[in-house]
Structure 1
Amino acid sequence: MGNLFEGIPERLPEELFEELFRAESVTVERIVSRGHTSPETGWYDQPRHEWVLVLRGRGVVAFEEGETVTLGPGDHLLIPAHRRHRVAWTDPNQDTVWLAVHYA
Structure 2
Amino acid sequence: MDNLFAKLPRDKTQEHFSDLLQADGLRVERIVSYGQASPEQGWYDQEENEWVSVLEGSAVIEFDNGQRVVLGKGDYLNIPAHQKHRVAETAENVATIWLVIFYK
The alignment's TM-score, normalised by the length of structure 1, stands at 0.97
User: 5+ residue gaps in structure 2?
Assistant: none
Following TM superposition, where does structure 1 have runs of at least 4 consecutive aligned residues deviating by more than 2 angstroms?
Answer: none
Moved more, 76-85 or 31-40: 31-40
CA RMSD, Structure 1 to Structure 2 (Å): 0.7
Residue 7 (structure 1) aligned with residue 4 (structure 2): no
Letter in 1 for 2:103: Y
Instruction: Give deviations 1:48-101, integer Å, cap 9, x for gaps.
Output: 100001100000000001000000011000000000000000011000000000
Residues 58, 71 of structure 2: 8 Å contact kept: yes
Give the number of aligned pairs.
Answer: 104
Within a 5 Å distance, the mapping from 1:26-65 to structure 2 comes to: 26-65=26-65
CA gap 1:42/1:10 in 2 versus in 1, 3 angstroms: closer
Letter in 2 for 1:4: L
The alignment's TM-score, normalised by the length of structure 2, stands at 0.97
